[in-house]
Amino acid sequence: MRSGVTIRADNAQAILEALKTLTNRDVLVGVPEARDERQDAEGDFGNAGIGYINENGSPKQNIPARPHLQPGVRASEPDYLPHLKAAAQKALEGDAEGATVSLERAGTIAANGVKRYITITGFTPLADATIANRLRRGRTGNKPLIDTGEYRRSITHIVRNKDADS
């Protein structure tokens, strides 16, 4: 008895390779090492350190936590989720390159979501001393996480292999 199924092309290997590629990838949002340096840096403290302190706070330095990375990524989920679904679909079609492109798009959207979150969220206000320090430096803004804008601009994404060292 015949099944009535005709095989026109065997894409099983391409599909398996694309799925392997997709499942071995991470999309990371934040400040990668290459974007860590600051124009106004004094010493070795860069954008990643600034982000960490603002995300978690520093009671010793009287800096309250102002979570923005994780909430910013979560807030942009409706925008990047279709691209993650497209990556999975591309992998099921055996298109590893298309899956990677979709992961890159999702990362870009998530990073932009963090930047938008920083811009629109009402964080714990700056201390009077911080505002006075900004004024001494010729800065007039009083929005937390935004002074020169350098930290916010450093937020980006990378798509990398899960077993990568950095």
Write down the pLDDT at residue 58: 94
Is pLDDT of 42 > 60? Answer: no
Write down the pLDDT at residue 94: 82
Report residue 7's pLDDT band, with 50, 70 and 90 as the boundaries.
Answer: low
Whether residue 134 contacts residue 142, with contact meaning beta carbons closer than 8 Å, is answered with yes
pLDDT tens, residue by residue, 128-153: 999 999 999 899 889 999 988 899 99
Mean pLDDT rounded to a whole number for the chain: 87
**Higher pLDDT among residues 12 and 84, named by residue:** 84
Is pLDDT of 36 > 90? Answer: no
Whether residue 117 contacts residue 71, with contact meaning beta carbons closer than 8 Å, is answered with yes
Cβ contacts of residue 69 below 8 Å, gap of 6+? 29, 30, 51, 55, 114, 155
158, containing H or E segment: strand 156-161
pLDDT tens, residue by residue, 85-122: 999 898 888 888 999 999 999 999 999 999 999 999 99
Q: Which residues pair with 58 in a beta bridge?
A: 63
Q: What are the CA-CA distances from residue 70 to residues 6, 21, 28, 88, 147 (Å)? A: 48, 25, 11, 23, 21
Write down the pLDDT at residue 38: 74
- Domain positions in the chain are 12-38+45-161
Write down the pLDDT at residue 5: 63
